[in-house]
Structure 1
Amino acid sequence: MPVLPGAEPYRHDGGEVGVLLCHGFTGSPQSLRPWAEYLAERDLTVSLPLLPGHGTRWEDLQLTGWHDWYAEVDRALRALRERCTQVFVFGLSMGGALALRLAAKHGDDVAGVVVVNPANKVHGLAAHALPVVRHFVRSTPGITSDIAKPGGEEVGYDRVPLHAAHSLRRFFQQVDGELPQVTQPLLLLHSPQDHVVPPADSARILSRVSSTDVREVLLEQSYHVATLDHDADRIFEESLGFIGRLAPSVGKEGTAAGG
């Protein structure tokens, strides 16, 4: 099945500091591509994989689950660790949950975590019905393109397959139990006006991680896909500053030495 235009994975071989970016549920690398390119232009090594079942058609996502999605970012992290001295993990929405689990599981191999509107729970009464309803209803309307900026569009699915949504719910429960294992420096950016993931998810994450170096930033002008919204430049700059503070090889201008 061909990949949707713009949804292709992205990689850049740069300096000795690496960044892994994780996209969200039913989304694609397109939502994080400007962020990845911003980091690549500053000589960071960047990996932005396409998660299994994503970027093609929603029926393909129906055949996958959270173990598949996590295995892909785990593989990408290990590949970055082979060539980089330090690796940071970034994520949007479900990608934030993926990044947090990588931090919980890989310890010192992850130098820091940046998450944007991270998801922690499938909300609503319907969530509790997923184990049963998924056997009778294949999909529901999609959740992409929650963007305040006029003309902003996210490449993703217009349907949510319920088998995959059920797996997503179980994944969030798994990660919630692992959040106390997250000890790395954490930068969490979230939008007060988010029509996909409520601010309660960010509050829950902040209350459960064991990190002591934590910064919270509000994205007042953006909705859920803030990486394609009015606050995108702020996200990019804040994340680069975060890396520069923690990675000695990244200079004041953000360019990695010895690349």
Structure 2
Amino acid sequence: MKAPKGAGTGALLIHGLGGTQYDLGPMHKALRRVGVETHAVTLPGHGGQPEDLLPVVAEDWLDSVTRAYDELVDKYETFHVMGMCMGALLALALCERRQHRKGQLVALSAPVFIDGWSTPWYRFLRYPVYHIPGLAARIRVDEDEPFGIKNDLVRAVVKAKFERGDNFHYRWVPLACVRQVDRLRRWVLGGAHRIACPTLVVHAREDELTSLRSADFLEAAVPDVRKVVLEDSYHMICVDNDREQVVSSVLDFLGFDPARARRQSRRLVEVPMEAEAIGTLVGEYIAALTTQHFEAVFPLLAPTVQWRHLAAHPLAGTYDDRDAVIAMFARLGELAGGQPVHITATSAPRIEGQTAEFGLAVSFVADGVPVAWRGTQFLQCSNGRITAVEYRPAAGVSADTATT
């Protein structure tokens, strides 16, 4: 009896060293919006503590993704493989191992060479250290600024997550683990020419971990390859400035209209919220603002949120989605010159229907001059998120009033 033929399109997405699916940013969501069923794998040694990586070898990682691939590939008519950073090395090695032809391969920031601008000149000394018994297991390789991210605000979000101990990425990895990455690199260097499926390579010109030499190698070695070079990101390209270009490039390569992902999200049916739920949402929003945990604001916003600043305000204008709002907060940080921005709620929120409003005061020091803004924010809520924000300066108060 023949096994039933697979239907539809699936994809296996592989995270990087010390990471989680956060490494891939909005990729899972974007693929699902165009009808691709995505599957994640948590690599051995991940999801716990950095020390869990000590007994893991490269074969464990490759065997793990191979098992996931073998369990999934026959369930679909088309099946794609995608990886970020070390996950890209694993994706390349997996597709070479299985001679993958049922779909396509996407390699994001593949560190075929560890030679980016932030890697120290003495990085080659790690090789003799590998051969000193026990030493590589005791040396820590810290995850430090710029955290692979060029965007100042997103970098601040990541830094805050590390400081709070959020379980989204290991703060360090043992050097012994880097040795296993070096073994993976050698496998890819030796086997890339045997990859049988169409391959997309996406790499940032300013990648601080792995230079364009990695992308150039893959472009030359893989038989059927397309290369995309990004101009405004560091290593973590799925969450950095070029994240929309990354998503668009991947969807286009896989044969989907990139606009479908955005259009589908805008057609969601709006589900009204109860007053209690709105009160909780608004409370979380105000708490995030007033404690300067701006990174906690963004998950409360709908992806298609529309944010408006009215009147003569330095941030005046309309911001059409969550990415634009993140950029707006980055602009606020620039206005404050990197100094703290103090935000207080000057009145309790008043909830009416799906809308909430409250008074807001913002203050900071710019070039030695105290600056204060006062006004009212109006929030529109639906589907458990804030879908619209409007800021109106208080009557008779200039947006750039200096305090004395």
TM-score between both structures, scaled by the size of structure 1: 0.82
Show the counterpart of 1:165. 178
Aligned to 1:92, which of 80, 84, 106? 84
Aligned to 1:199, which of 200, 212, 237? 212
Report the CA distance shift for 1:119/1:166 in structure 2 as closer, same or farther (over 3 A): same
Secondary structure of the 2:254 match is helix
C-alpha distance in structure 2 between counterparts of 1:231 and 1:99, whole Å: 22
Q: Is contact 1:86–1:109 with CA below 8 Å preserved after alignment?
A: no
Residues 1:22 and 2:22 aligned together:
no
C-alpha distance in structure 1 between counterparts of 2:227 and 2:173, whole Å: 30
Residues 1:129 and 2:121 aligned together:
no
Secondary structure of the 1:81 match is helix
Residues 1:239 and 2:250 aligned together:
yes
The total of aligned residue pairs comes to 235
Q: Is contact 1:130–1:162 with CA below 8 Å preserved after alignment?
A: no
C-alpha distance in structure 2 between counterparts of 1:222 and 1:33, whole Å: 14
Task: Identify the structure with bigger relative contact order (alpha carbons < 8 Å, sequence gap 6+).
Answer: 1
C-alpha distance in structure 2 between counterparts of 1:73 and 1:135, whole Å: 28
The CA deviation at 1:81 is 1.0
Report the CA distance shift for 1:132/1:44 in structure 2 as closer, same or farther (over 3 A): same
Q: Higher strand share goes to which structure?
A: 2
| Structure 1 stretches lacking a partner, 5+ long | 1-14
C-alpha distance in structure 2 between counterparts of 1:251 and 1:30, whole Å: 21
Residues 1:228 and 2:230 aligned together:
no
Residues 1:183 and 2:204 aligned together:
no
Report the CA distance shift for 1:167/1:119 in structure 2 as closer, same or farther (over 3 A): same
Show the counterpart of 1:156. 169
Show the counterpart of 2:149. 147
Show the counterpart of 1:104. 96
Q: Is contact 1:182–1:210 with CA below 8 Å preserved after alignment?
A: yes
Q: Is contact 1:35–1:227 with CA below 8 Å preserved after alignment?
A: yes
The CA deviation at 1:78 is 1.6
Q: Which has the larger radius of gyration?
A: 2
Aligned to 1:65, which of 34, 57, 72? 57
Show the counterpart of 1:174. 187
Higher mean displacement: 188-197 or 113-122: 113-122
Query: Considering only aligned residues, what root-mean-square deviation do their CA atoms show, in Å?
Result: 2.3
Report the CA distance shift for 1:98/1:110 in structure 2 as closer, same or farther (over 3 A): farther
Question: Percent same amino acid among aligned pairs?
Answer: 25
Higher mean displacement: 127-136 or 186-195: 127-136
Deviation string 1:195-217 (CA, Å, 9 cap, x unpaired) is 11122111122222222xx2211
The CA deviation at 1:108 is 4.1
C-alpha distance in structure 2 between counterparts of 1:129 and 1:110, whole Å: 41
| Structure 2 stretches lacking a partner, 5+ long | 1-6, 116-122, 162-167, 264-404
TM-score between both structures, scaled by the size of structure 2: 0.54
Pairing of 1:209-228 with structure 2 (within 5 A): 209-211=222-224, 214-228=225-239
Secondary structure of the 1:230 match is coil
Secondary structure of the 2:153 match is coil
The CA deviation at 1:79 is 2.2
Q: Is contact 2:13–2:82 with CA below 8 Å preserved after alignment?
A: yes
C-alpha distance in structure 2 between counterparts of 1:251 and 1:239, whole Å: 9
Show the counterpart of 1:12. none
Q: Is contact 1:244–1:252 with CA below 8 Å preserved after alignment?
A: no
C-alpha distance in structure 2 between counterparts of 1:118 and 1:196, whole Å: 10
C-alpha distance in structure 1 between counterparts of 2:211 and 2:252, whole Å: 26
Deviation string 1:23-65 (CA, Å, 9 cap, x unpaired) is 1112221111421111112221101211111132110011211
C-alpha distance in structure 2 between counterparts of 1:227 and 1:133, whole Å: 37
Amino acid at match of 2:227: E
C-alpha distance in structure 1 between counterparts of 2:172 and 2:258, whole Å: 44
The CA deviation at 1:252 is 8.9
Secondary structure of the 2:140 match is strand
The CA deviation at 1:227 is 0.4
